[in-house]
Structure 1
Amino acid sequence: MAAGSDTYSADEGTLYDHSEDGSYSRGRPSGDGSELELDILESEDERERLLTESGGKTGLFGKKSVKIGKWNAKKSKDTTKAARNGESRGLMYDTEEGVGASDQSLSTGSSESDATRLLATAAQRKARRKRICRRVAIYAAIVALFLALLFIAYRLSKPSRKNATATMLSNGTSLFPPTTILISLDGFRADFLYRGLTPTLNEFVKNGISPKYMLPSFPSVTFPNHYTMATGLYPEAHGIVGNTFWDPALKKEFYYTDPDKSLQPFWWGGEPMWVTAERQKARAAVHMWPGSEAHISHIEPAYVDKFNGSEALPLKVDRILGLLDLPGPLDVAAKADQPRPQLIAAYVPNVDGDGHKYGPNSTEIRQTIKDADGMLASILHGLEERNLTEIVNVIVVSDHGMATTDVSRLIQLEDLVDPNELSHIDGWPLYGLRPKKIEDLDRLHQQLVEKARSNPNIDVYLRDKDMPERYHFSKNERIAPLWIVPKTGWAIVTKDEFDVEKGKETGEVYHPRGLHGYDFEHPLMRAIFVARGPSFPHKANSRVEPFRNTELYNIVCDSIGVEPMPNNGTLRLPLKPVGLHTDPETPPDVTPPDPVETPSSFLATSVMTSFASLAASASGLEDPISSFLDGPMSSAQELSSTPSSTTSSTPPASSTAESWWEWLTHKADNMEEWVDEFLKSHVPGKADPKATAA
């Protein structure tokens, strides 16, 4: 078509562009409009529709709409010409999806054309919304992925979880994450290692790391100390302040041997190691450990074995090794309901039981100590057979020691205080007193202080006034307000339990023959700690300084790669040795005197020493005391020359293994020989007749 053959309005000139080669229609090229241009066209159409209506109806301004027939006529001519020339023209408008209007529907005044344009516009808007939604979803996914990677990087980089990503170790058949066996030998006194009865434990010390002893917590009895080892908290912090005690808030009594009075979770504060492990996805098995059946924090270990005091030691060995034989988490045979634990905590009551029954120096306890050592030998042998010696950590501990009792070291409670004035008596062998009337507390305290002046074998404390700070035994209402703490080896009894005067007259034997619960720093109360395994990469026979059993919780948690809860301990792995047990500066192995020296013994020693001094001055002998005491000052003399303290009953350790009575007997024999020599030399007629005859 020749240019200028038709006349177009100015507005139409903005919509149509004539092409010389005829490859384009009168409208815009098909599929070539940008979104901005489409928006302009849509706005133009909308404006034209508002100004005019088809059929000559009244428009926006109340006038008859003007029909624009010139554009339709022209379009008809173009269509006819295109048909005549055999050329196919493109649609006037192309939508984003390729949908356009037919030539016959392009009339401006047609309602069908308007509907088509509106549908095209709606489709375009819908498509744009879809694109926006897709982009938002993609951006959100990218942000979420970035945050997830950031969180993973943070958890992996936490310095406190040093062992969390530790490489699993293989024994040749299975992979093991950090795994620890913890064994508690209840009542195993530290110096039991020096009796020649424990070859396995002594060899274990040589191959591992240990202090000379571990200190228990006060009071040095089983339940408070086992739960302290499990939580790293002092008894005043975790709430198990004795084997027996009264809770004034709950108005309930805790009694350790009665499940109805001890296995409720409200008694047990803090978080024990098996709950810490399970909460951090490290499975735990607990074999009879005190408190393990109490459903603490309502987080149950994978395995809990109920207490059975008569269980044979070989069965304990089988149980521990059987748990290690379970398939690991990466093994094909692994079962979700039978996981292999990373922590195995086992309680062994035998030494404590026989120590109470027969005494810590009895013949029977010697065999019990041997049996406990044999149990450890079986466990270590089982680890060796499974190629787990360098893969599984083994920690052996005890909770306290034990002292020998005797009727001569009993104190009648009724001689100290009237039991009728008391509402509750807590603890044993130390006594916590709760007066029926709180206003009687100061009077009863002063009364007991006066009694203690004439009986040096007890200490008296008010919880809120003069309880020694080193005991960490005052910041809990479960601790009675007034306490009588006997010296080590002594016990307080009521007449219902044992009539002291009658027992002395009849020669009745007091039971239990061994007791604990005294000042936690006394040598007879010392416990043990020995460890070996991949979490303890130290020289064999390494020695660390003695520490309190509040440190055990951190050590065990670190050994299995879990983060401990806040507690009263400060030690973390790796431990820091101060040398070897074989170093010259290592303190010697000391067996403390048991029974403990008593003030009456000190008096006897003082009398005999004074007599020897007087005799020496009369005879002119040079240094007769040395012949009587033959050696350095004994522990008894050291104690007799040291002022007594109301905060400690700890005597210096003896350098000899013989008991006080044996020591006193030997010195008496020496004294007798000296008296004979003195009489022979200075009294006429007392010379040896055989010597005279010679």
Structure 2
Amino acid sequence: MSRLTVLLAVALAALLAPGAGVPVRVPGAQGSRNKLLLVSFDGFRWNYDQDVDTPNLDAMALEGVKARYMTPAFVTMTSPCHFTLVTGKYIENHGVVHNMFFNTTSKVKLPYHATLGVERWWDNGSVPIWITAQRQGLKTGSFFYPGGNVTYQGAAVSQSRKEGVFHNYKDEQEWRRNIDTVMNWFVQDGLDLVTLYFGEPDSTGHKFGPESEERKTMVRQVDRTVGYLRERIEQSGLAGSLNLIITSDHGMTTVNKSGQLVEFHKFPNFSFKDIEFELLDYGPNGMLLPKEGLLDKVYEALKDAHPNLHVYKKEAFPKGFHYANNPRITPLLMYSDPGYVIHGRVNVQFNNGEHGFDNGELDMKTIFRAVGPSFRAGLQVEPFESVHVYELMCHLLGIVPEANDGHLSTLLPLLHQDGHTPATPRTSVPPEGHPGAASQLSARSSLVTGLMAATILLAHVL
């Protein structure tokens, strides 16, 4: 048998081998793989760059890709939306349904920072991109990113940092030190993927409102930080090998503090004596577990209690939100119109800005910027949902994604088509039902058939 015939036979055997579904590792290719940095500035509304001079974000748009805006998942809260970015799943499918851990049986409710360390809240069936990448031979890191400090199916992120309870979100010098640490992770520790989180301008937007001068000042600080980040990427020798995505979890709107407030303690036909468990007073969303046999009574008392409050039985919640179909969601749930927050037993919310509203509202939209060797330059794209970002990141890293709700085809036009592809090709067949699975199966089948035919033909001819 000729040498060519032998080579064809070896190629065919490789395709048919049991491990053919594992991404191919090309010798020496790991060093040429493009790295990926995902940066989130919490609560950065889509138009915050329109009333403030943001030269560094503007430069990113000129040199890379800018979306007109990005639509976050509902419910538009920090932890749920951040987990959608790293799983590609709607919130009802990844299960992180609130910023707070809660248990309707024990009545335990934990605040945001405590919830960041509760493993069972995050590790409930979905595997985020850090773990998926590590399973496929990469090294990953999470710096303050929600969900990045617990284990998933026994695996932890390669490098991680968790913010403290009394962390000062506004310290610009600390922001720069954190960026320096992340650059060291890439250069010295050889990480391939890092997610980096900043708690601003969300904190300032809450305290002073999204239209305040304080918010505008904070956006300028964010922009300076983007400039510093890009400088450090250049200085670290990563400009030609690192893709940078800057985005956020949700927007922000001004809280209505006058007129008819949404106050449960003032609703005439409602009584907390009928409630077994409540999750109220956290913005415009609420969950209630009525006592046994009282579901209909409570629903009837609340459904028309306030013109700006929308109350649903779980099964009737709007399907387009992709939120209610999860065991953690209570039998009654609700949300209020933009500007209206929900007050429970007493009025305890005093923020001037808030999020958590309908993700279709323009004030809830957020930003998406991307620049790097894989991205096209000077491209502005129409709005898209954040659920698609995960598939894009997996493609950039050359890893096979977990089953998810996104579609790579949505964001693939953001990328060069001239060879700026990951060094390690994606050769695995996606999970059954995954978009593109049928076409990849068909293509692989055709390739196998062709190689078999060529091998047989050459064996007879040569």
TM-score by length of 2: 0.79
1:82-118 C-alpha deviation (Å, 9 max, x unpaired): xxxxxxxxxxxxxxxxxxxxxxxxxxxxxxxxxxxxx
Check whether the contact 1:211–1:546 (CA below 8 A) recurs between aligned residues: yes
Q: Say whether 1:513 aligns with 2:352.
A: yes
Q: Kindly report which structure 2 residues correspond to 1:612-627, keeping only aligned pairs within 5 A, or say none.
A: none
Structure 1 residue 364, shift from structure 2 partner: 0.9
1:362 and 2:199 matched: no
- 1:356 is matched by which residue type in structure 2? H
Matches within 5 A, 1:285-684: 285-308=141-164, 309-310=167-168, 312-325=171-184, 339-408=189-258, 410-416=261-267, 417-426=270-279, 428-451=282-305, 455-464=306-315, 466-498=316-348, 511-536=350-375, 538=376, 540-572=377-409, 575-576=412-413
Contact kept in structure 2, 1:185 and 1:349, CA below 8 Å: yes
Give 1:265's match in structure 2, choosing from 119, 141, 158.
119
Map of 1:212 onto structure 2: 68
CA contact (8 A) 2:35 2:397 kept: yes
Q: Secondary structure at the match of 1:576?
A: helix
Letter in 2 for 1:446: E
Q: What is the CA-CA distance between 1:367 and the residue it aligns to? A: 1.0
Distance 1:532 1:262 in 2: 30
The worse-fitting range, judged by mean Cα deviation, of 553-562 and 344-353 is 553-562
Q: Which has the larger radius of gyration?
A: 1
1:43-54 to structure 2, matched below 5 A, reads: none
SS in structure 1 opposite 2:277?
strand
Cα distance in 2, alignment partners of residues 267 and 246 from structure 1: 9
Report if the CA contact (8 A) 1:212-1:546 is conserved. yes
Contact 1:555 1:571 in 2 (8 A): yes
Deviation at 1:490, TM superposition (A): 0.7
* Aligned-partner Cα distance in 2 for 1:457–1:286: 39
Could you say if the C-alpha distance between residues 530 and 343 of structure 1 is closer, same or farther in structure 2, counting changes exceeding 3 Å?
Answer: same
Query: Could you tell me how far apart the structure 2 residues matched to 1:390 and 1:347 are?
Result: 23
Unaligned segments of structure 2, at least 5 residues:
1-8, 416-462
C-alpha distance in 2 between matches for 1:532 and 1:166: 28
Structure 2 counterpart of 1:553, one-letter code? Y
Separation (CA, whole Å) in 2 of partners of 1:326 and 1:430: 39
The higher-RCO structure (CA 8 Å, 6+ apart) is 2
For each residue in 1:419-439, what CA deviation from the matched residue of structure 2 results, as whole angstroms up to 9, or x when unmatched?
A: 222122225223434344232
Is the counterpart of residue 181 in structure 1 residue 34 in structure 2? no
- Determine helix, strand or coil for the equivalent of 2:43: coil
The 1:272/1:199 distance shift into structure 2, 3 A limit, reads same
Q: 1:574 deviation in Å?
A: 6.3
Q: Structure 2 counterpart of 1:227, which letter?
A: F
User: Does the 8 A contact of 2:150 with 2:156 survive in 1?
Assistant: no
| Inter-partner Cα distance in structure 2 for 1:190 and 1:420 | 42
Identity percentage over the alignment?
27
Post-superposition Cα deviations, 1:376-413, rounded to whole Å, max 9, x if no partner, equal 10010112233422321000010000111132153211
Deviation at 1:179, TM superposition (A): 0.2
1:192 aligned counterpart, secondary structure: coil
Q: Secondary structure at the match of 1:562?
A: coil
The question of whether the paired residues in 2 share the 8 Å contact of 1:275 and 1:301 is answered with yes
Secondary structure of 1:191's counterpart equals coil
Counterpart position of 1:282: 138
Worse-superposed segment, 546-555 or 281-290:
546-555
Name 2:458's counterpart in structure 1: none
Question: Which structure 1 residue ranges, 5 or more long, are not aligned?
Answer: 1-145, 170-174, 329-337, 499-509, 579-694
Could you tell me which residue of structure 1 aligns to residue 425 of structure 2?
A: none
